[in-house]
Amino acid sequence: MKLELHGITKRFGSLVANDHIDLTVEEGQIHALLGENGAGKTTLMNVLFGLIQPDEGEILLDGRPQHLGSPSHAIRAGIGMVHQHFMLVPVFTVAENVTLGMERTRALGWIDRRRTRRDVRELSERYGLQVNPDAMVEDLPVGVQQRVEIVKALLREASVLILDEPTSVLTPGETQELFRIMRELRAGGRSIVFISHKLKEVQEIADVVTVIRRGQVVGQLPPTASDTELAALMVGRSVQLRVTKKPAKPGEVRLDVQALTVPGEEEKPALDGVSFQVRAGEILGVAGVQGNGQTELCQALLGLRPAASGSVRLDGRDLTHATPQHRLRAGLAYVPEDRQEDGLVAGFSVADNIILDVFDQPPYARGIAMDLATRDAAAAERVADFDIRTTSTATPVGTLSGGNQQKVILAREVGREVRVLVASQPTRGLDVGSIEFVHRRIVEQRDQGLAVLLVSSELDEIYALSDRIAVMYEGRITGFRPPDVPAEELGMLMAGATGADAAATGEAVVQAPTAGGPDTGLMGSGVLGVGVPTDTTTNPSSITHGSPAGDQPATDDDGGEPE
């Protein structure tokens, strides 16, 4: 079915969320909608799904204008939506979830389970969804739950499928699986609107890319467009996709972790004899598929999880059994993985969040009396310094965009005297512009002599920032590698191969770094001679530091530090 949007406009008060948006999605097309957080993508899709009524404009399906007053109208018209947060009942089976709201009944209101199961199985086979109709939804991994949502839409005969940021919850492997399914669906003649802010994914899967910025369509490009081109359109200015950084000058050992073991939820320890050191002026990247102990490692470093054995030393001081407060005071800066949950108090002002871990220290407090003037002055300074976009320091931090929230956390953590920075997934869910900023700041901190431990499940991020890479698998570190290690080898380590195996296999598989050679590598630094393997299967298709396209001008060598 061909979907056309003409001049869709939606205003919320003075804010124009959608400004005369035109969009045409052909039958059998995967149409990517690319835009930063807050660009108006979700509003547009909510209009399309009947959740919001547009102020102006019309929606046509196969040339016929539609009035979509509610989601049920949209569903009847053949539009299906897979939300970012799934709308499933965890304690129901797949078949029950799928028929919820459209139960097929036989005489006397008996629900025809057999028919539903058969339908689910049929659809599942046709598109290779691999969904078992009898499985309980709560037992399924996130990727499969998402496929249940797709089945749900398909069963309602959706010919236009809207996927709202579908990859944000998926692992790299699951993402590839989703892409395969999307291709199958396209082959079956369905139209797909794919919402994303991840350039690589869009390049990989889309037939057409429409870029939205501030509620307006700013361009339509083929997926072959370079990532710089896309990013520039999306952000509205040219974006430095590669982090320029000088070679590291490691100094003395700042963070020394020896044989750290932390009990897990089950019998197996969450951390099993982890040892590493981070020196002043270097970034140690911890790579690994999520859920292999990275979260626990960070929590243990902050002191939120007690260590069963082993030791944690900061500048030689034993902090193994210190409280979080002790460790923070000893010079640990901590950027938590879950910004909303652990990093910020959403209802508090920007200023209060900036002093959240120094609120009772001079000069912010004298005795138990807080000095609000000092707080506000310090906050104003950080807001300017970190370019935090907020109307004032009194604005609740929860109303800020994700990127600005992360800036608040960074401003807080590195704004005081610190020795070691532990940053966990520092750019998760951020848009291109913010990622650039956060990365630049992390490198800056390194250059000022901080020891940085970067934990990330984005391989690109690890490559872009790390001076050394450690790989975690099932609570252990399976190996340390230099930053020019091929992705295949890291992939092997991430899958649990021991160091020696991985090195052997990696060498066997990997050819010389492709496309462009060392000087266009992520580091932009000829000194390290880093090339980035592209188009590798283990490389998660993710946000930033895109494949080094050949036409990309090499960033300045050596002296290429910004500022």
Residues that bind other proteins (CB under 8 A): 85, 302, 304, 323-329, 334, 336, 338, 341-348, 352, 356-357, 359-360, 365, 368-370, 372, 396-399
CB of 342 to other proteins, least distance (A): 4
Q: 134 or 138, CB closer to other proteins?
A: 138
- In the chain the first and final C-alpha atoms are separated, in Å, by 51
Q: 125 or 138, CB closer to other proteins?
A: 138
CB of 432 to other proteins, least distance (A): 24
Rounded to whole angstroms, what are the CA distances from 250 to 45, 431, 542, 561?
Answer: 49, 31, 29, 18
Best CA proximity match to 334, nearest among 322, 325, 346: 325
Q: 275 or 395, CB closer to other proteins?
A: 395
The residues, ordered by sequence, that sit 6+ positions from 551 with a Cβ below 8 Å of its Cβ are 226
CB of 38 to other proteins, least distance (A): 14
Provide the residue count of the chain: 563
Q: Provide the H-helix boundaries in 37-82.
A: 41-48, 71-77
Rounded to whole angstroms, what are the CA distances from 415 to 70, 328, 409, 410?
Answer: 48, 12, 10, 8
Beta-carbon neighbour count of residue 5 at 10 Å? 21
Q: 104 or 366, CB closer to other proteins?
A: 366
Best CA proximity match to 336, nearest among 410, 266, 265: 410
Q: 25 or 354, CB closer to other proteins?
A: 354
CB of 388 to other proteins, least distance (A): 15
Q: 50 or 133, CB closer to other proteins?
A: 50
Q: 218 or 365, CB closer to other proteins?
A: 365
User: What distance in Å separates the CA atoms of residue 447 and residue 246, rounded to the nearest whole number?
Assistant: 8
CB of 100 to other proteins, least distance (A): 18
Best CA proximity match to 465, nearest among 442, 435, 491: 442
Q: 122 or 338, CB closer to other proteins?
A: 338
**Distance of alpha carbon 214 from the chain centroid:** 21
Longest dimension (CA), the chain: 79
Per DSSP, the residues of 452-518 read EEEE-S-HHHHHHH-SEEEEEETTEEEEEE-TT--HHHHHHHHTT--HHHHHHHHHHH--S--TT-G
CB of 291 to other proteins, least distance (A): 16
The residues, ordered by sequence, that sit 6+ positions from 72 with a Cβ below 8 Å of its Cβ are 50
Q: 269 or 303, CB closer to other proteins?
A: 303
DSSP class of 246: P
CB of 43 to other proteins, least distance (A): 15
Q: 32 or 397, CB closer to other proteins?
A: 397
The CA-based dihedral angle spanning residues 53, 57, 62, 66, taken in that order and rounded to the nearest 10 degrees: 40
CB of 503 to other proteins, least distance (A): 37
User: What distance in Å separates the CA atoms of residue 156 and residue 152, rounded to the nearest whole number?
Assistant: 7
CB of 53 to other proteins, least distance (A): 16
User: What distance in Å separates the CA atoms of residue 338 and residue 357, rounded to the nearest whole number?
Assistant: 17
Residue type, 283: I
CB of 412 to other proteins, least distance (A): 9
CB of 40 to other proteins, least distance (A): 18
Q: 328 or 435, CB closer to other proteins?
A: 328
